[in-house]
Amino acid sequence: MQYRKLGNTGLKISELSFGSWITFHNQADVDKTYDMMKAAFDAGVNFFDNAEAYALGKSEEIMGEAIKRLGWRRGSYLVSTKLYWGLHDTPLENNTLNRKYLLEGIAGSLQRMNLDYVDLLYCHRADSDTPIEETVWAMHNIIERGQALYWGTSEWEADQILEAIDIADRRNLHKPVVEQPVYNLFQRHRFAGNYHAVYKGKGYGSTTWSPLASGLLTGKYIDGVPEQSRAALPSMAWLKDELIDEAANERVRALLPLAKDMGATLAQFALAWCLQNKSVSSVLTGASRVEQVHENMKALQFVDKFTPDLMAEIDRITGA
């Protein structure tokens, strides 16, 4: 495993990390979670990602139980959660980053995870109804209380991140240090345009999500929907059309020989490609079974195999 600096912080984060969206509770119980987290940690992963909204809190409970059983030294790994959607459908607690919700939300997450603090706390989305200043103050207070060590954003517009940093700088508050954006061969918009001012200009870190576009970039949907797959889950019906989209799968098919020439599986190729971007601090992987973790961790051996000609060919195929 290689480690990168998480933006301007002093943290060294593993190039590949491991997250729990969809999988924990829906596809993995505590035993399976234990096996997958152990496989990732043994491969050098030091960051495990979660969110209050994942399986409505159950994902946090499962990760907390697995961490307890794994018995790792707390100093040796990073764990995160994210707040925004809320667990209760009331105007105070739903789709919000208001101070009350954030302070109560972090307390609930820590209880479910059985942890004293999370290392990273993300605002899972931006909230146009709450002044950014209120959110910055709340996150600062959460850090001062020791419930989180650093805070970040997820899927925020570049200008919103710059505003939060500016407010924190002016008030001498803990500022956000990391964004969690979608990033894969087919979805690159969160590193384009004004994000340059965020990553290069401010030294913001990034932990990127859905590097395999939910499995599309493994090639598993070229011939339809495999039984044990994300697209086969009834709860993921909203995503299925994207995963079986013919044009997208044609592009996936065209990438296959490039991966084969490298000696990589398409999943390994797609993961290693994400790490060509030096503004990426860590690529958040996901898995529904331990074999996928083993396969994905081997992506690291291909990171230095992407020549300029190959990058150009990839861009031609993906239409980037």
Task: Just list the catalytic residues.
Answer: 54
- The CA-CA-CA angle for residues 205, 36, 59, to 5°, reads 70
Of 20-28, 169-177, 187-195, 307-315, the window that binds ligand NDP (rule: CB under 6 A) is 20-28
Least distance (Å) between residue 102 CB and ligand NDP: 16
Six-digit token string for 87: 């667990």
- The CA-CA-CA angle for residues 183, 82, 89, to 5°, reads 115
Of 95-103, 110-118, 158-166, 215-223, the window that binds ligand NDP (rule: CB under 6 A) is 215-223
Query: Is residue 318 at the binding interface for ligand NDP, with CB under 6 A as the rule?
Result: no
- What secondary structure letter does DSSP report for 24? B
Query: Is residue 215 at the binding interface for ligand NDP, with CB under 6 A as the rule?
Result: yes
**Footprint on residues 245-274 left by ligand NDP (CB under 6 A):** 267
Of 25, 175, 220, 240, the one binding ligand NDP by CB under 6 A: 220
Of 8-16, 38-46, 102-110, 214-222, the window that binds ligand NDP (rule: CB under 6 A) is 214-222
- CA 40 – CA 187 distance, rounded (Å): 25
Of 94-102, 164-172, 207-215, 250-258, the window that binds ligand NDP (rule: CB under 6 A) is 207-215
Query: Is residue 14 at the binding interface for ligand NDP, with CB under 6 A as the rule?
Result: no
Query: Is residue 81 at the binding interface for ligand NDP, with CB under 6 A as the rule?
Result: no
Least distance (Å) between residue 179 CB and ligand NDP: 9
Query: Is residue 152 at the binding interface for ligand NDP, with CB under 6 A as the rule?
Result: no
Contact predicate 211/217, CB 8 Å: yes
What angle, 0 to 180 degrees and rounded to 10, lies between the N-to-C axes of helices 99-113 and 132-144?
A: 40
Query: Is residue 153 at the binding interface for ligand NDP, with CB under 6 A as the rule?
Result: no
Contact predicate 213/187, CB 8 Å: yes
Nearer to ligand NDP, 9 or 214 (CB): 214
Quick note: the x/- pattern for ligand NDP over 173-192, rule CB under 6 A, is -------x------------
Least distance (Å) between residue 307 CB and ligand NDP: 24
- CA 5 – CA 77 distance, rounded (Å): 14
- CA 79 – CA 64 distance, rounded (Å): 10
- CA 152 – CA 225 distance, rounded (Å): 35
- CA 48 – CA 85 distance, rounded (Å): 20
Six-digit token string for 265: 């599986």
Which residues are bridge partners to 269 per DSSP?
A: none
Query: Is residue 155 at the binding interface for ligand NDP, with CB under 6 A as the rule?
Result: yes
